[in-house]
Structure 1
Amino acid sequence: MRSLERHRDVGAYALGVLDEADAFRFEDHLMECPKCAAHVTEFGAATRQLMLYRRATPRFVPPLAQPGPRLLDRLLAEIARRDRTRRRRFLYGLAASVVLAAAGPGVMAFTGHGTPAAAHVTAATDPHTGVWARVTSENEDYGSRLRLEIKDASGPHSCRLVVIGHDGTEQLAGNWMVAPHDPTMTTTLVDTTLHPTDIDHYEIRTTDGHHLVTLDAP
Protein backbone atom coordinates (compact mmCIF):
# COMPACT_ATOMS: atom_id res chain seq x y z
CA MET A 1 0.00 0.00 0.00
CA ARG A 2 1.33 3.46 -0.89
CA SER A 3 2.26 5.96 1.84
CA LEU A 4 -0.64 8.28 0.95
CA GLU A 5 -3.12 5.43 1.38
CA ARG A 6 -1.56 4.65 4.74
CA HIS A 7 -2.29 8.23 5.89
CA ARG A 8 -5.91 7.85 4.78
CA ASP A 9 -6.33 4.80 7.01
CA VAL A 10 -5.87 6.80 10.22
CA GLY A 11 -9.62 7.37 10.75
CA ALA A 12 -10.54 3.74 10.10
CA TYR A 13 -7.82 2.58 12.49
CA ALA A 14 -8.86 4.99 15.26
CA LEU A 15 -12.49 3.85 14.96
CA GLY A 16 -11.49 0.17 14.98
CA VAL A 17 -12.94 -0.77 11.57
CA LEU A 18 -9.74 -1.96 9.86
CA ASP A 19 -9.37 -5.72 9.55
CA GLU A 20 -6.60 -7.37 11.53
CA ALA A 21 -4.06 -7.50 8.68
CA ASP A 22 -4.55 -3.85 7.65
CA ALA A 23 -4.48 -2.73 11.31
CA PHE A 24 -1.16 -4.55 11.79
CA ARG A 25 0.35 -2.89 8.72
CA PHE A 26 -0.96 0.53 9.79
CA GLU A 27 0.63 0.13 13.23
CA ASP A 28 3.98 -0.38 11.50
CA HIS A 29 3.33 2.89 9.67
CA LEU A 30 2.48 4.64 12.98
CA MET A 31 5.92 3.80 14.33
CA GLU A 32 7.44 6.11 11.69
CA CYS A 33 4.72 8.74 11.28
CA PRO A 34 4.18 11.12 14.23
CA LYS A 35 1.55 13.01 12.19
CA CYS A 36 -0.71 9.94 11.98
CA ALA A 37 -0.06 9.14 15.65
CA ALA A 38 -1.35 12.61 16.54
CA HIS A 39 -4.41 12.14 14.31
CA VAL A 40 -5.25 8.85 16.07
CA THR A 41 -5.45 10.78 19.35
CA GLU A 42 -7.60 13.49 17.74
CA PHE A 43 -10.19 10.89 16.73
CA GLY A 44 -10.83 10.14 20.41
CA ALA A 45 -13.88 12.45 20.58
CA ALA A 46 -15.52 10.86 17.54
CA THR A 47 -14.85 7.39 18.92
CA ARG A 48 -16.49 8.33 22.22
CA GLN A 49 -19.60 9.68 20.45
CA LEU A 50 -20.00 6.48 18.42
CA MET A 51 -19.54 4.43 21.58
CA LEU A 52 -22.28 6.43 23.30
CA TYR A 53 -24.58 6.01 20.29
CA ARG A 54 -24.01 2.26 20.28
CA ARG A 55 -24.79 2.05 23.98
CA ALA A 56 -27.95 4.15 23.69
CA THR A 57 -29.37 2.45 20.59
CA PRO A 58 -31.65 -0.58 21.20
CA ARG A 59 -30.54 -3.79 19.46
CA PHE A 60 -33.74 -3.98 17.38
CA VAL A 61 -33.13 -0.60 15.67
CA PRO A 62 -32.11 -1.18 11.99
CA PRO A 63 -28.57 0.04 11.23
CA LEU A 64 -29.83 2.36 8.46
CA ALA A 65 -32.65 3.89 10.52
CA GLN A 66 -33.03 7.65 10.07
CA PRO A 67 -32.74 9.89 13.16
CA GLY A 68 -35.94 11.40 14.49
CA PRO A 69 -36.70 15.13 14.11
CA ARG A 70 -35.91 15.82 17.78
CA LEU A 71 -32.46 14.22 17.76
CA LEU A 72 -30.65 17.47 16.93
CA ASP A 73 -32.55 19.33 19.65
CA ARG A 74 -31.54 16.69 22.22
CA LEU A 75 -27.92 16.77 21.11
CA LEU A 76 -27.77 20.57 21.30
CA ALA A 77 -29.41 20.52 24.74
CA GLU A 78 -26.85 17.96 25.95
CA ILE A 79 -23.95 20.04 24.62
CA ALA A 80 -25.35 23.15 26.35
CA ARG A 81 -25.74 21.22 29.62
CA ARG A 82 -22.14 19.99 29.48
CA ASP A 83 -20.89 23.51 28.71
CA ARG A 84 -22.72 24.83 31.78
CA THR A 85 -21.20 22.04 33.89
CA ARG A 86 -17.68 22.86 32.65
CA ARG A 87 -18.20 26.57 33.40
CA ARG A 88 -19.37 25.77 36.94
CA ARG A 89 -16.36 23.54 37.53
CA PHE A 90 -14.06 26.29 36.25
CA LEU A 91 -15.64 28.90 38.55
CA TYR A 92 -15.48 26.56 41.56
CA GLY A 93 -11.83 25.85 40.81
CA LEU A 94 -11.08 29.55 40.41
CA ALA A 95 -12.78 30.36 43.71
CA ALA A 96 -10.86 27.58 45.45
CA SER A 97 -7.55 28.83 44.07
CA VAL A 98 -8.28 32.34 45.35
CA VAL A 99 -9.03 30.98 48.84
CA LEU A 100 -5.86 28.89 48.84
CA ALA A 101 -3.74 31.80 47.66
CA ALA A 102 -5.14 34.00 50.42
CA ALA A 103 -4.62 31.31 53.06
CA GLY A 104 -0.93 30.87 52.29
CA PRO A 105 1.41 27.99 51.43
CA GLY A 106 0.57 25.97 54.54
CA VAL A 107 -2.94 25.29 53.26
CA MET A 108 -1.60 24.51 49.78
CA ALA A 109 0.63 21.78 51.19
CA PHE A 110 -2.27 20.34 53.19
CA THR A 111 -4.58 20.08 50.18
CA GLY A 112 -2.15 17.99 48.14
CA HIS A 113 -2.26 18.00 44.34
CA GLY A 114 -5.91 18.97 43.86
CA THR A 115 -7.23 15.52 42.88
CA PRO A 116 -11.07 15.65 42.98
CA ALA A 117 -12.61 13.82 45.92
CA ALA A 118 -14.77 11.75 43.55
CA ALA A 119 -11.78 10.49 41.55
CA HIS A 120 -10.64 6.86 41.78
CA VAL A 121 -6.86 6.46 41.50
CA THR A 122 -4.82 3.31 41.00
CA ALA A 123 -1.14 2.83 40.12
CA ALA A 124 1.20 -0.10 39.55
CA THR A 125 4.65 -1.06 38.26
CA ASP A 126 5.18 -4.36 36.48
CA PRO A 127 8.32 -6.09 37.88
CA HIS A 128 9.09 -7.80 34.57
CA THR A 129 8.57 -5.00 32.03
CA GLY A 130 9.42 -2.08 34.34
CA VAL A 131 6.38 -0.18 33.01
CA TRP A 132 4.74 2.16 35.55
CA ALA A 133 1.20 3.49 35.06
CA ARG A 134 -1.47 5.39 36.96
CA VAL A 135 -5.16 5.63 36.04
CA THR A 136 -7.47 8.27 37.51
CA SER A 137 -11.15 7.63 36.78
CA GLU A 138 -14.07 10.01 37.26
CA ASN A 139 -17.70 8.99 36.99
CA GLU A 140 -19.67 10.54 34.11
CA ASP A 141 -23.21 10.09 32.77
CA TYR A 142 -21.94 7.88 29.93
CA GLY A 143 -19.42 5.87 32.00
CA SER A 144 -15.94 7.05 33.08
CA ARG A 145 -13.44 9.70 32.07
CA LEU A 146 -9.95 8.21 32.42
CA ARG A 147 -6.63 10.00 32.84
CA LEU A 148 -3.74 7.68 32.03
CA GLU A 149 -0.16 8.46 33.03
CA ILE A 150 2.52 5.99 31.94
CA LYS A 151 6.29 5.61 31.92
CA ASP A 152 7.39 3.00 29.41
CA ALA A 153 11.02 2.77 28.28
CA SER A 154 10.50 -0.58 26.54
CA GLY A 155 9.51 0.93 23.15
CA PRO A 156 9.23 1.39 20.33
CA HIS A 157 5.75 -0.10 20.04
CA SER A 158 2.08 0.77 19.79
CA CYS A 159 0.08 0.36 23.03
CA ARG A 160 -3.52 0.21 24.12
CA LEU A 161 -5.42 0.62 27.39
CA VAL A 162 -7.99 -2.14 27.95
CA VAL A 163 -10.70 -1.75 30.62
CA ILE A 164 -12.00 -5.03 32.08
CA GLY A 165 -15.34 -5.14 33.91
CA HIS A 166 -16.37 -7.33 36.82
CA ASP A 167 -18.34 -9.48 34.34
CA GLY A 168 -15.24 -10.08 32.20
CA THR A 169 -16.17 -7.71 29.38
CA GLU A 170 -13.28 -5.82 27.77
CA GLN A 171 -13.30 -2.34 26.25
CA LEU A 172 -10.51 -0.72 24.29
CA ALA A 173 -10.20 2.79 25.75
CA GLY A 174 -7.26 4.24 23.82
CA ASN A 175 -4.18 3.77 21.62
CA TRP A 176 -0.84 5.57 21.65
CA MET A 177 2.71 5.22 20.39
CA VAL A 178 5.79 4.70 22.57
CA ALA A 179 9.05 6.12 21.24
CA PRO A 180 12.29 4.09 21.45
CA HIS A 181 13.70 3.98 25.00
CA ASP A 182 11.73 7.03 26.12
CA PRO A 183 11.89 7.49 29.94
CA THR A 184 9.50 10.46 30.03
CA MET A 185 5.91 10.21 31.22
CA THR A 186 3.05 10.15 28.72
CA THR A 187 -0.37 11.48 29.76
CA THR A 188 -3.59 10.97 27.82
CA LEU A 189 -7.35 11.35 28.43
CA VAL A 190 -9.69 8.57 27.26
CA ASP A 191 -13.21 7.32 28.00
CA THR A 192 -15.09 4.09 28.63
CA THR A 193 -18.80 3.29 28.94
CA LEU A 194 -18.07 1.37 32.15
CA HIS A 195 -18.63 3.31 35.36
CA PRO A 196 -15.86 3.19 38.02
CA THR A 197 -17.87 0.74 40.16
CA ASP A 198 -18.19 -1.61 37.16
CA ILE A 199 -14.43 -1.78 36.49
CA ASP A 200 -12.41 -4.70 37.87
CA HIS A 201 -8.98 -3.78 36.51
CA TYR A 202 -7.05 -2.16 33.68
CA GLU A 203 -4.47 -3.74 31.39
CA ILE A 204 -1.91 -2.03 29.20
CA ARG A 205 -0.80 -4.16 26.28
CA THR A 206 1.06 -3.73 23.04
CA THR A 207 -1.12 -4.04 19.95
CA ASP A 208 0.39 -7.46 19.24
CA GLY A 209 -0.85 -8.71 22.64
CA HIS A 210 2.25 -8.40 24.83
CA HIS A 211 1.26 -7.59 28.43
CA LEU A 212 2.96 -4.52 29.95
CA VAL A 213 1.22 -3.80 33.27
CA THR A 214 -2.04 -4.54 35.15
CA LEU A 215 -3.73 -2.04 37.49
CA ASP A 216 -6.45 -3.19 39.90
CA ALA A 217 -9.38 -0.81 40.17
CA PRO A 218 -9.62 0.85 43.61
Structure 2
Amino acid sequence: MRSQERHRDVGAYALGVLDEADAFRFEDHLMECPQCAATVTEFGPITRQMMLYRRATPRSVHPMAQPGPRLLDRLLGEVASRHRAGRRRILYAVAASVVIAVAGSGLAMTTGGTKQAVQVTATDERSGVWAQVTVADEDWGSDVEVKIKDGAGPRPCRLVAVGSDGSEQTVTGWNVPSHDARPNTMRGSVDMHPDQIVRYEVRTQSGEHLVTLPAQ
Protein backbone atom coordinates (compact mmCIF):
# COMPACT_ATOMS: atom_id res chain seq x y z
CA MET A 1 0.00 0.00 0.00
CA ARG A 2 1.46 3.38 -1.03
CA SER A 3 1.94 6.11 1.56
CA GLN A 4 -0.76 8.35 0.07
CA GLU A 5 -3.27 5.48 0.18
CA ARG A 6 -2.49 4.91 3.86
CA HIS A 7 -3.19 8.59 4.59
CA ARG A 8 -6.51 8.33 2.75
CA ASP A 9 -7.59 5.36 4.90
CA VAL A 10 -7.66 7.54 8.03
CA GLY A 11 -11.34 8.39 7.47
CA ALA A 12 -12.37 4.78 6.92
CA TYR A 13 -10.39 3.69 10.00
CA ALA A 14 -11.92 6.37 12.23
CA LEU A 15 -15.43 5.42 11.12
CA GLY A 16 -14.76 1.69 11.61
CA VAL A 17 -15.38 0.63 8.00
CA LEU A 18 -11.96 -0.90 7.26
CA ASP A 19 -11.82 -4.68 7.29
CA GLU A 20 -9.72 -6.33 10.01
CA ALA A 21 -6.59 -6.82 7.88
CA ASP A 22 -6.56 -3.25 6.53
CA ALA A 23 -7.25 -1.85 10.01
CA PHE A 24 -4.27 -3.79 11.37
CA ARG A 25 -2.00 -2.44 8.61
CA PHE A 26 -3.28 1.10 9.16
CA GLU A 27 -2.56 0.92 12.92
CA ASP A 28 1.09 0.17 12.04
CA HIS A 29 1.07 3.33 9.91
CA LEU A 30 -0.68 5.29 12.69
CA MET A 31 2.19 4.63 15.10
CA GLU A 32 4.56 6.53 12.78
CA CYS A 33 2.26 9.28 11.48
CA PRO A 34 1.36 12.17 13.84
CA GLN A 35 -0.81 13.71 11.10
CA CYS A 36 -3.09 10.67 10.90
CA ALA A 37 -3.17 10.25 14.70
CA ALA A 38 -4.41 13.83 15.03
CA THR A 39 -6.99 13.34 12.28
CA VAL A 40 -8.40 10.20 13.96
CA THR A 41 -8.95 12.30 17.09
CA GLU A 42 -10.72 14.98 15.02
CA PHE A 43 -13.27 12.39 13.88
CA GLY A 44 -14.51 11.97 17.49
CA PRO A 45 -17.71 14.05 17.01
CA ILE A 46 -18.53 12.17 13.80
CA THR A 47 -18.15 8.74 15.41
CA ARG A 48 -20.42 9.85 18.26
CA GLN A 49 -23.09 10.83 15.71
CA MET A 50 -22.64 7.45 13.99
CA MET A 51 -23.30 5.73 17.33
CA LEU A 52 -26.50 7.74 17.61
CA TYR A 53 -27.47 6.73 14.08
CA ARG A 54 -26.79 3.05 14.77
CA ARG A 55 -29.00 3.09 17.85
CA ALA A 56 -31.77 5.05 16.09
CA THR A 57 -31.73 3.09 12.80
CA PRO A 58 -35.07 1.34 12.16
CA ARG A 59 -35.07 -2.33 11.26
CA SER A 60 -35.91 -1.46 7.65
CA VAL A 61 -32.40 -0.01 7.21
CA HIS A 62 -29.56 -2.49 6.92
CA PRO A 63 -27.47 -2.24 10.14
CA MET A 64 -24.20 -2.60 8.23
CA ALA A 65 -24.85 0.31 5.85
CA GLN A 66 -21.54 2.04 5.24
CA PRO A 67 -20.46 5.33 3.67
CA GLY A 68 -18.90 5.01 0.24
CA PRO A 69 -15.44 6.18 -0.94
CA ARG A 70 -16.72 9.55 -2.21
CA LEU A 71 -18.32 10.31 1.15
CA LEU A 72 -15.08 9.44 2.95
CA ASP A 73 -13.24 11.85 0.65
CA ARG A 74 -15.75 14.55 1.58
CA LEU A 75 -15.26 13.83 5.28
CA LEU A 76 -11.49 14.16 5.00
CA GLY A 77 -11.90 17.41 3.09
CA GLU A 78 -14.19 18.83 5.75
CA VAL A 79 -11.82 17.84 8.55
CA ALA A 80 -8.96 19.58 6.74
CA SER A 81 -11.13 22.67 6.36
CA ARG A 82 -11.85 22.60 10.08
CA HIS A 83 -8.12 22.64 10.80
CA ARG A 84 -7.67 25.68 8.60
CA ALA A 85 -10.70 27.60 9.80
CA GLY A 86 -10.70 26.46 13.42
CA ARG A 87 -14.49 26.06 13.51
CA ARG A 88 -16.11 23.18 15.39
CA ARG A 89 -19.41 23.53 13.57
CA ILE A 90 -18.00 21.93 10.39
CA LEU A 91 -17.61 18.53 12.03
CA TYR A 92 -21.20 18.55 13.20
CA ALA A 93 -22.41 19.49 9.74
CA VAL A 94 -20.38 16.62 8.29
CA ALA A 95 -21.79 14.24 10.90
CA ALA A 96 -25.31 15.20 9.84
CA SER A 97 -24.42 14.55 6.19
CA VAL A 98 -23.15 11.06 7.13
CA VAL A 99 -26.48 10.19 8.73
CA ILE A 100 -28.46 11.46 5.74
CA ALA A 101 -26.23 9.77 3.17
CA VAL A 102 -26.19 6.38 4.90
CA ALA A 103 -29.87 6.27 5.78
CA GLY A 104 -31.02 7.36 2.35
CA SER A 105 -34.16 8.83 3.84
CA GLY A 106 -35.29 11.40 6.39
CA LEU A 107 -34.35 10.12 9.84
CA ALA A 108 -34.96 12.43 12.79
CA MET A 109 -32.69 11.87 15.79
CA THR A 110 -32.91 13.37 19.24
CA THR A 111 -30.47 13.09 22.11
CA GLY A 112 -31.25 13.09 25.78
CA GLY A 113 -29.85 15.66 28.15
CA THR A 114 -26.35 15.06 29.42
CA LYS A 115 -26.27 13.68 32.95
CA GLN A 116 -23.84 14.81 35.60
CA ALA A 117 -20.25 14.07 34.61
CA VAL A 118 -17.90 11.91 36.70
CA GLN A 119 -14.21 12.83 36.95
CA VAL A 120 -11.30 10.61 38.00
CA THR A 121 -7.58 11.43 38.24
CA ALA A 122 -4.46 9.26 38.61
CA THR A 123 -0.67 9.41 38.35
CA ASP A 124 1.49 6.39 37.63
CA GLU A 125 4.67 6.41 39.77
CA ARG A 126 6.60 4.27 37.30
CA SER A 127 5.81 6.12 34.06
CA GLY A 128 5.24 9.55 35.62
CA VAL A 129 2.16 10.03 33.43
CA TRP A 130 -0.73 12.02 34.94
CA ALA A 131 -4.25 11.61 33.54
CA GLN A 132 -7.68 12.99 34.25
CA VAL A 133 -10.81 11.47 32.69
CA THR A 134 -14.21 13.19 32.72
CA VAL A 135 -17.15 10.99 31.64
CA ALA A 136 -20.73 11.99 30.87
CA ASP A 137 -23.48 9.39 30.45
CA GLU A 138 -25.37 9.81 27.16
CA ASP A 139 -28.27 7.90 25.58
CA TRP A 140 -25.84 6.21 23.18
CA GLY A 141 -22.97 5.53 25.64
CA SER A 142 -20.25 7.69 27.21
CA ASP A 143 -18.83 11.05 26.15
CA VAL A 144 -15.24 11.21 27.41
CA GLU A 145 -12.69 13.98 27.89
CA VAL A 146 -9.12 13.05 28.81
CA LYS A 147 -6.32 15.34 29.95
CA ILE A 148 -2.75 14.02 29.85
CA LYS A 149 0.63 15.18 31.15
CA ASP A 150 3.37 13.05 29.60
CA GLY A 151 6.93 14.32 29.29
CA ALA A 152 8.32 11.16 27.67
CA GLY A 153 7.24 11.88 24.08
CA PRO A 154 7.22 11.75 21.22
CA ARG A 155 5.02 8.66 21.11
CA PRO A 156 1.50 7.79 19.91
CA CYS A 157 -0.90 6.86 22.72
CA ARG A 158 -4.53 5.92 23.24
CA LEU A 159 -7.14 5.78 26.00
CA VAL A 160 -8.87 2.41 26.41
CA ALA A 161 -12.12 1.79 28.32
CA VAL A 162 -12.30 -1.67 29.93
CA GLY A 163 -15.80 -3.02 30.52
CA SER A 164 -17.07 -5.09 33.43
CA ASP A 165 -17.29 -8.04 31.01
CA GLY A 166 -13.61 -7.66 30.08
CA SER A 167 -14.27 -6.08 26.70
CA GLU A 168 -12.16 -3.13 25.56
CA GLN A 169 -12.92 -0.09 23.42
CA THR A 170 -10.50 2.61 22.30
CA VAL A 171 -11.86 6.01 23.35
CA THR A 172 -9.42 8.24 21.49
CA GLY A 173 -5.80 8.44 20.36
CA TRP A 174 -3.18 11.17 20.20
CA ASN A 175 0.49 11.83 19.58
CA VAL A 176 2.55 13.04 22.58
CA PRO A 177 4.82 15.99 21.63
CA SER A 178 8.55 15.70 22.18
CA HIS A 179 9.52 16.26 25.84
CA ASP A 180 6.48 18.43 26.56
CA ALA A 181 4.84 17.84 29.95
CA ARG A 182 2.14 20.47 29.49
CA PRO A 183 -1.41 19.05 29.67
CA ASN A 184 -3.04 17.96 26.43
CA THR A 185 -6.81 17.57 26.16
CA MET A 186 -8.62 15.17 23.83
CA ARG A 187 -12.23 14.05 23.45
CA GLY A 188 -13.65 10.69 22.46
CA SER A 189 -16.54 8.33 23.04
CA VAL A 190 -17.55 4.70 23.50
CA ASP A 191 -20.92 2.96 23.25
CA MET A 192 -20.57 1.56 26.79
CA HIS A 193 -22.30 3.51 29.56
CA PRO A 194 -20.24 4.67 32.58
CA ASP A 195 -21.73 1.99 34.86
CA GLN A 196 -20.51 -0.66 32.38
CA ILE A 197 -16.89 0.55 32.58
CA VAL A 198 -14.58 -0.61 35.39
CA ARG A 199 -11.41 1.30 34.47
CA TYR A 200 -9.60 3.39 31.88
CA GLU A 201 -6.05 2.69 30.73
CA VAL A 202 -3.62 4.97 28.92
CA ARG A 203 -1.37 2.90 26.67
CA THR A 204 1.13 3.51 23.91
CA GLN A 205 0.15 2.25 20.47
CA SER A 206 2.65 -0.59 20.97
CA GLY A 207 0.75 -1.71 24.10
CA GLU A 208 2.92 -0.31 26.91
CA HIS A 209 0.81 0.54 29.97
CA LEU A 210 1.23 4.14 31.22
CA VAL A 211 -1.51 4.78 33.80
CA THR A 212 -4.79 3.24 35.03
CA LEU A 213 -7.81 5.20 36.23
CA PRO A 214 -10.65 3.43 38.09
CA ALA A 215 -14.05 4.28 36.63
CA GLN A 216 -15.62 4.95 40.04
Q: Same fold (TM over 0.5)?
A: yes
Amino acid paired to 1:131: V
Describe the shift of the 1:50–1:2 C-alpha distance in structure 2 as closer, same or farther (beyond 3 A).
same
Deviations 1:88-107 (A, max 9, x none): xxxxxxxxxxxxxxxxxxxx
Q: Give the letter for the 1:140 counterpart.
A: E
Which residue of the partner structure matches residue 109 of structure 1? none
Cα distance change, pair 159–58 in 1 and its aligned pair in 2 (3 A): farther
- CA change 1:44–1:19 in 2 (3 A) is same
Query: Equivalent residues in 2 for 1:122-201 (5 A)?
Result: 122-201=120-199
Q: Which residue pairs with 1:96 in the alignment? A: none
What's the secondary structure of 2:26's corresponding residue?
A: helix
Root-mean-square deviation (CA, aligned residues, Å) is 3.0
Distance 1:7 1:197, change over 3 A: same
8 Å contact kept, 2:37–2:156: no
1:37 shift after superposition: 4.0
What secondary structure does 1:153 align onto? coil
Counterparts of 1:4-43 in structure 2, within 5 Å, are: 4-16=4-16, 17=18, 18-30=22-34, 33=35, 36-43=36-43
Please list, as runs of the form range in 1=range in 2, the aligned pairs for 1:197-212 lying within 5 A after superposition.
197-212=195-210
Alpha-carbon separation, structure 2, partners of 1:14 and 1:24: 14
Aligned-partner Cα distance in 1 for 2:6–2:152: 25
* Alignment size in residue pairs: 176
How many Å apart are 1:190 and its aligned residue?
A: 1.4
Shift of 1:185: 0.2
CA 2–144 in structure 1, closer or farther in 2 if over 3 Å, else same: same
> 2:127 aligned with 1:74, yes or no?
no
TM-score by length of 2: 0.69
Moved more, 200-209 or 38-47: 38-47
Per-residue CA deviations over 1:131-178 (Å, capped at 9, x if unaligned) read: 000111111111111111110111111111111111111111111110
- The structure that has the greater radius of gyration is 1
- Unaligned runs of 5+ residues in structure 2 are 67-101
- Residue matched to 1:63: 64
Change (3 A) 1:183 1:64: closer
The 1:15/1:67 distance shift into structure 2, 3 A limit, reads: closer
Aligned residue number for residue 113 of structure 1? none
Match of 1:97? Answer: none
Contact 1:6 1:29 in 2 (8 A): no
| Amino-acid identity (%) | 48
TM-score normalised by L of structure 1: 0.69
Equivalent-residue separation in structure 2 for 1:62 and 1:40 (angstroms): 23
Decide whether aligned partners of structure 1 residues 201 and 211 sit closer, same or farther in structure 2, where only a CA change above 3 A counts.
same
Instruction: Check 1:129–1:55 CA distance in 2 against 1; reply closer, same or farther (3 A cut).
Output: farther
Conserved in 1, the CA contact under 8 Å of 2:161 and 2:170?
A: yes
Deviation at 1:54, TM superposition (A): 4.4
> How does 1:86-105 map onto structure 2 within 5 Å?
none
Q: Which residue of 1 aligns with 2:119?
A: 121
